[in-house]
């Protein structure tokens, strides 16, 4: 970690843990008994959230992963998004729950929803641990949100800055010294 980066705890490990359990309960009651939701996590940021969520869900589930590359074009309103890792299990007629770490502009999730809808799942919903609603450039529906947060760059609990900080058990705001460029 370079010296000019500072971390400030935003949500403690206990706060995250409690909210994940509550989200799991919410998700549980939203699906009929006997139905096994198919959880699709977006790598890499979503891996810790998925791991905690499935253990808190009181029902059998299946899981799969996608990885996404986004080539921003300055404004990010016209980012080019591609799958760098596709699903391994077909989602036709499955009850798909996308598990996201954070929704920021909404570009990624919106693209993913379109891509998945074209594969004809029986149902398609989203849970995101974090929602930076004020940054949205694309309207996108999210059925389950862990925390709505301010427009700050956050790391930890799977989320990174330049591949650092994913291992932290809590969520922190990452700031640079005032003389440096803001973290984005
Ligand atoms: P969107 O397409 O703008 O909604 O961006 C979503 C993706 O941007 C997330 O899945 C993250 O990979 C990344 N991202 C957005 N905000 C943050 C943040 O505060 N910390 C870490 N990654 C972020
Ligand atoms: Mg993500």
- Tens place of pLDDT per residue across the chain (184 aa): 556 889 999 999 999 999 999 999 999 999 999 999 999 999 999 999 999 999 999 899 999 999 999 886 554 556 799 999 999 999 999 999 999 999 999 999 999 999 999 999 999 999 999 999 999 999 999 999 999 999 999 999 999 999 999 999 999 999 986 666 667 7
Q: How far is the CA of 42 from the centre of ligand 2 (A)?
A: 6
Residues with CB under 6 A from ligand 1: 45, 101-109, 153-155, 159
- Residue 183 pLDDT: 72
Tell me if the bond preceding 138 is cis, omega within 30° of 0.
no
* Whole-number Å distance between alpha carbons of 84 and 44: 11
- Please identify every residue annotated as catalytic: 104
Ligand 1 center to residue 34 CA distance, Å? 34
Which numbered ligand comes closest to the C-alpha of 99?
Answer: 2
In this prediction the pTM is 0.93
* 106 backbone dihedrals φ, ψ, rounded to 5°: 95, -5
CA distance 105 to 134: 8
Distance CA 29, CA 154 (A): 30
Per DSSP, 2 falls in state -
* Helix (H) / strand (E) containing 130: strand 123-131
């Amino acid at each position: 970690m370079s010296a000019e980066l500072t971390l400030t705890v935003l949500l403690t490990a206990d706060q995250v843990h409690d909210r994940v359990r509550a989200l799991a309960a919410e998700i549980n009651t939203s699906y009929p008994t006997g139905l096994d939701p198919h959880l699709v996590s977006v790598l890499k940021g979503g891996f810790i959230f998925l791991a905690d969520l499935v253990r808190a869900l009181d029902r059998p589930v299946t899981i799969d992963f996608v990885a996404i590359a986004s080539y921003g074009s300055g404004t990010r309103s016209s980012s080019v998004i591609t799958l760098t890792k596709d699903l391994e299990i077909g989602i036709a007629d499955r009850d798909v729950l996308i598990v996201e770490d954070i929704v920021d502009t909404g570009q990624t999730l919106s693209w993913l929803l379109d891509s998945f809808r074209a594969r004809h799942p029986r149902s398609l919903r989203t849970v995101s641990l974090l929602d930076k609603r004020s940054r949205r450039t694309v309207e996108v529906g999210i059925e389950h949100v862990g925390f709505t947060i301010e427009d700050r760059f956050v790391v930890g609990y799977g989320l990174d800055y330049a591949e650092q900080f994913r291992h932290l058990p809590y969520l922190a705001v990452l700031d640079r010294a005032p003389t440096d460029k803001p973290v984005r």
